[in-house]
């Protein structure tokens, strides 16, 4: 299948991006990401790489001393700006800020779609102050979510566009270690969606509440290494 330009893909995606965000599954993802980031962001200067419509950046801005978001999609950024957020149009491989501008750089649901991943992580590290933290989410190859992705049909995001039109990569923790610059050290991993084979489990009336609770319990246990979303926290050495 021919891939399309990521900017066009996300501009199309932006039109209906928030239609499902009120459902339990998406709340679970956003809340889990925020919980992973909070210890490293509270009272700090924070950059979100790939901020989308600002659904995560907005609560981050309330806990941080300063919060800025970048994204490649004008359609996504228009919605984030409407929330009153400080956002700029930019890509992960060319971040428009000086060295050491932030105490924490976060990125969720984005890096799996960046082909030049080592260049992107080098940029995230460059704008991070010594002693600061990267909180970065990857798609985990060692997960049920990856298996389902391999066998499921393409999912529509617009009339003539599916999720298979955009580059997507699933990594192992060893892969991620290899992508990171030598100046940062992994200090924590958090697995998200470790047990449920599909997101539909979360949105069922009774099963959803049980699934949500169990999933939150195992995120920082050894089971977390099988999470479909793997958050890696890395510290930049002073």
| 91, 72 contact by CB (below 8 A) | yes
Asked if residue 134 has pLDDT above 90, the reply is: yes
Q: What percent of the chain has pLDDT over 90?
A: 76
Neighbours of 104 (CB within 10 A): 24
pLDDT band at 156 (very low <50, low <70, confident <90, very high): low
b vs e for 141-157, b when ≥16 Cβ sit within 10 Å of the residue's Cβ? bbbbbeeebeeeeeeeb
Distance CA 238, CA 236 (A): 6
Report yes or no: 69 and 57 within 8 Å, Cβ to Cβ.
yes
Per-chain mean pLDDT for the chain: 89
Beta bridge partners of 140: 171
pLDDT for the residue 9: 54
Q: Specify the pLDDT at position 199.
A: 87
**Among 24-28, 95-99, 227-231, the least confident range:** 24-28
- Read off the pTM: 0.87
Domain 6-236 CATH superfamily: Vaccinia Virus protein VP39 (3.40.50.150)
pLDDT band at 23; cut points 50, 70, 90 = confident
C-alpha torsion 178→184→185→189, nearest 10: -80
- The mean pLDDT value for 164-186 works out to 93
Please give the Cα distance from 89 to 72 (Å, whole number): 5
Per residue, what are the HEC states of 70-108?
A: EECCHHHHHHHHHCCCEEEECECCECCCCCCCEEEEEEC
CB atoms within 10 A of CB 84: 10
119 Cβ partners below 8 Å, 6+ apart? 93
Distances from the Cα of 158 to the Cα of 33, 73, 193, 220, angstroms: 26, 15, 25, 36
* DSSP state at residue 153: P
The reported pLDDT for the residue numbered 2 is 40
| Position 64 confidence tier, pLDDT thresholds 50, 70, 90 | very high
Residue 232 gets which letter from DSSP?
Answer: E
Confidence of residue 149 (pLDDT cuts 50, 70, 90): confident
Phi, psi torsion values for 177, nearest 5 degrees: -55, -40
Residue 21 confidence (pLDDT) above 80 = no
Q: How confident is the model over 160-173, as pLDDT tens digits?
A: 565 666 789 999 99
pLDDT digits (tens, 9 = 90+) for 68-100: 999 999 999 999 999 999 999 999 999 999 999
């Amino acid at each position: 299948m021919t891939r399309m330009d990521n900017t066009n893909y996300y501009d199309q995606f932006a039109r209906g991006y928030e239609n499902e965000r009120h459902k339990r599954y998406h709340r679970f993802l956003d809340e889990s990401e925020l919980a992973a980031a909070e210890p490293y962001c509270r009272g700090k200067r924070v950059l979100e790489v790939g901020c989308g419509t600002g659904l995560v950046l907005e609560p981050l801005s309330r806990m941080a001393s300063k919060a800025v978001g970048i994204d490649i999609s004008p359609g996504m950024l228009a919605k984030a700006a409407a929330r009153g957020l400080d956002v700029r149009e930019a890509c992960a491989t060319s971040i428009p800020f000086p060295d050491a501008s932030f105490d924490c750089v976060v990125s969720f649901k984005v890096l799996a779609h960046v082909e030049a991943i080592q260049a992107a992580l080098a940029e995230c590290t460059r704008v991070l102050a010594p002693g600061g933290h990267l909180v970065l989410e990857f798609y985990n190859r060692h997960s049920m979510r990856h298996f389902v992705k391999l066998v499921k049909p393409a999912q529509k995001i617009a009339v003539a566009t599916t999720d298979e039109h955009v580059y997507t990569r699933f990594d192992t923790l060893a892969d991620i270690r290899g992508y990171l610059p030598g100046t940062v050290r992994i200090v924590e991993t958090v697995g998200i969606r470790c047990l449920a084979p599909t997101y539909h489990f979360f949105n069922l009336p009774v099963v959803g509440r049980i699934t949500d609770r169990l999933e939150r319990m195992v995120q920082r246990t050894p089971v977390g290494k099988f999470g479909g979303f793997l958050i890696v926290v890395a510290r930049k050495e002073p």
